[in-house]
Structure 1
Amino acid sequence: MPLAEHLRELRNRLAKGMLAITIVAIAAAFYSEELMKFLASPVPRCPDGGLQSKGGECAVVAYTDLLSPFTTTVKVSVMAGVIIASPVWLYQLWAFIAPGLHKNERKYTYAFVAAAVPLFAGGAWLAYVIMPISMRVLLGITPDGSANILPMDKILDFTVRMVLVFGTAFELPLLLIMLNLTGMVTGKRMAGWWRGVVMGVFIFGAVATPTTDPFGMIALAGPIVVLYFIAVGFSLLNDKRRARRDPDAELDDDEASELDLTPEDIGDMEAVSAPKALPEQAGTGRADHRVNGFDDVT
């Protein structure tokens, strides 16, 4: 299609995706109170909503300004709309891109999405599981004689950040597998990186997690390290499979393949049929030496 048709199709598919998000967000607004309770459930609440001054044993969830209830409700509704309507807008995005892909590229894309969705969901679930422990550790730093009043919008930002960090980090091994399938990196090279990768993952876990406790860092880095070694094992097996199918696939650009110089037994030379000779010319005259109007030499 011409460029104008592509832009028109992109506009229509974006409009369909935005319409689906808007409809779901409006529906989620009626359940915003339940959603906010679910997002704030990891916070250790003070009994009877009272404040304690014995340190960080508990906290009170509050709205700190006049517009905070409205803006928080809008944030929660839009977030629910984006998540729940994701099959619709992801399909629209895929329907726009898929016609330009080859068959094998579409196959790899299906496999990538099929693995990426449960990995992200697993990371999000792990983030939600460890959030109560992380919050207790953070609240435990509160000195005696002080109380904790947590704004609801800050809790929402903290929850979304934890989910995104954990979910995205769980996609790292899948990215390495995709690089191996495309031939950009080998399993042997990935295995040689394990010391630096383990150190880098723990540093990333310490920096990326909003908490300052070691539990959050270990909870994020530990599963990623395990998934990394699974990706290395898969890549090594894939390299062996590729080597069996194509022995020269792992050669460098400047490295020549090994030549097979073993002589072959061609058997009795007399049994080898000689090539057929050209048909004899019909005559000896110059005109008779022409074939289809051309000289026989030509």
Structure 2
Amino acid sequence: MALADHLRELRTRFLVSVVAIALGCIPGWLLYPYLLTKLSEPITAAGGQLNFQGLMTGFSVQLLVALMVGIIVASPVWVYEVWAFIVPGLTKKEKWTALAFLSSAVPLFLAGCGIAYLILDKAVAIMLSFVPAEQLNIMPAADYLVFVTRFIVAFGLAFLLPVLLVALNMVGVLPAALMLRCWRIAVIVIFVLSALITPTPDAVTMFFLAVPMVVLYFAACGVAFGLDRRREKQRPEWADLADDEAGPL
């Protein structure tokens, strides 16, 4: 397609994703009291307290919680839209492979969000452990919910790493051999990104994110090798001939 067509396609897919997230915000808005109680448990259990300071704080916090739920609930839609934009023009067999792998993308995203929620209390406890025992930690509710949202969504997005790698392999940008040859660099980059993505400076949280990402990276390498091998078998005999060399016929 021409550049203008690509831009129009990007605009359409972006709008579809935004509408899906907006619809997904509805249950988050309706379930806000329950969700706020569950999300604030780590800080209250560690002796902290949320403070709703300011006239608009209550509204902004409820909107932030609803947005996080919308991103999670609408993940099947926006993950598909991203995949469909990155990997266009697939053959029939490749589309089945893409559909099979895409069906694992949403569980991967949800698994990342779930792991983040499970270790949220540990991350909060580590941060609050630096507060002197005789002092109180009264945290602004907006700051805490921004921290929680970034923490959970970052884990979910990080778990989509194999989807991105396989997508790049399917369009011919990232061969499997190159992925495996650069595994040492990839592991270092993963640990650095994990340290940057996680909003806490402790090494425990970083390892909780980095180790699964390394495993998913090698899983993506395995899938990419299978795709490369199948494409190699389907190549015609004349594909490697020079332009001035006669073919088998």
TM-score class, shorter? 0.7 to 0.9
Give the equivalent residue in structure 1 for 2:164: 175
* Contact 2:42–2:125 under 8 Å retained in 1: no
Q: Distance in 2 between matches of 1:255 and 1:195?
A: 38
- The one-letter code matched in structure 1 to 2:37 is K
Measured after TM superposition, the shift of residue 165 of structure 1 is 1.1
* Contact 1:44–1:132 under 8 Å retained in 2: no
Select the structure of larger CA radius of gyration.
Answer: 1
* Contact 1:14–1:92 under 8 Å retained in 2: no
Give the equivalent residue in structure 2 for 1:278: none
Q: Which moved more, 1:72-81 or 1:222-231?
A: 72-81
Measured after TM superposition, the shift of residue 184 of structure 1 is 2.4
* Contact 2:80–2:102 under 8 Å retained in 1: no
Measured after TM superposition, the shift of residue 79 of structure 1 is 4.2
Give the equivalent residue in structure 1 for 2:35: 35
Give the equivalent residue in structure 1 for 2:215: 226
Q: Distance in 2 between matches of 1:121 and 1:58?
A: 29
Q: Which moved more, 1:164-173 or 1:64-73?
A: 64-73
Measured after TM superposition, the shift of residue 77 of structure 1 is 3.5
Measured after TM superposition, the shift of residue 42 of structure 1 is 2.6
- The one-letter code matched in structure 2 to 1:137 is I
Shift of the 181–93 alpha-carbon distance from structure 1 to 2, 3 Å rule, reads closer
Q: Which moved more, 1:182-191 or 1:153-162?
A: 182-191
Q: Is the aligned partner of 1:125 residue 2:114?
A: yes
Q: Secondary structure at the match of 1:142?
A: coil
* Contact 1:44–1:136 under 8 Å retained in 2: no
Shift of the 29–117 alpha-carbon distance from structure 1 to 2, 3 Å rule, reads closer
Give the TM-score normalised by structure 1: 0.64
Query: Out of 185, 189, 198, which is 2:187 matched to?
Result: 198
Q: Distance in 1 between matches of 2:20 and 2:114?
A: 28
* Contact 2:79–2:105 under 8 Å retained in 1: no
Q: Deviations over 1:92-130 (max 9, x none)?
A: 979x98xx9666475465345312211111111111111
Measured after TM superposition, the shift of residue 29 of structure 1 is 3.9
Q: Secondary structure at the match of 1:41?
A: helix
Q: Distance in 1 between matches of 2:20 and 2:105?
A: 25
Q: Secondary structure at the match of 1:134?
A: helix
Shift of the 176–74 alpha-carbon distance from structure 1 to 2, 3 Å rule, reads closer
Q: Which moved more, 1:149-158 or 1:106-115?
A: 106-115
Shift of the 219–164 alpha-carbon distance from structure 1 to 2, 3 Å rule, reads same
- The one-letter code matched in structure 1 to 2:43 is V
Q: Distance in 1 between matches of 2:124 and 2:132?
A: 15
Measured after TM superposition, the shift of residue 59 of structure 1 is 0.8
Q: Distance in 2 between matches of 1:111 and 1:249?
A: 31
Q: Is the aligned partner of 1:208 residue 2:194?
A: no
Give the TM-score normalised by structure 2: 0.75
After the TM superposition, which residues 1-298 of structure 1 pair with which residues of structure 2 at under 5 Å, given as runs?
18=19, 21=22, 25=25, 28-45=28-45, 57-81=46-70, 83-84=72-73, 104=92, 107=96, 110-246=99-235
Measured after TM superposition, the shift of residue 177 of structure 1 is 1.5
Shift of the 168–27 alpha-carbon distance from structure 1 to 2, 3 Å rule, reads closer
Structure with the larger helix share: 2
Structure having greater relative contact order (Cα 8 Å, sep ≥ 6) = 2
Shift of the 237–19 alpha-carbon distance from structure 1 to 2, 3 Å rule, reads closer
Q: Secondary structure at the match of 2:172?
A: coil
Q: Distance in 1 between matches of 2:205 and 2:89?
A: 40
Q: Distance in 1 between matches of 2:151 and 2:181?
A: 30
Shift of the 140–117 alpha-carbon distance from structure 1 to 2, 3 Å rule, reads same
Q: Distance in 2 between matches of 1:126 and 1:249?
A: 50
Number of equivalent positions: 235
Q: In structure 2, list runs of 5 or more residues that go unmatched.
A: none
Q: Secondary structure at the match of 1:42?
A: helix
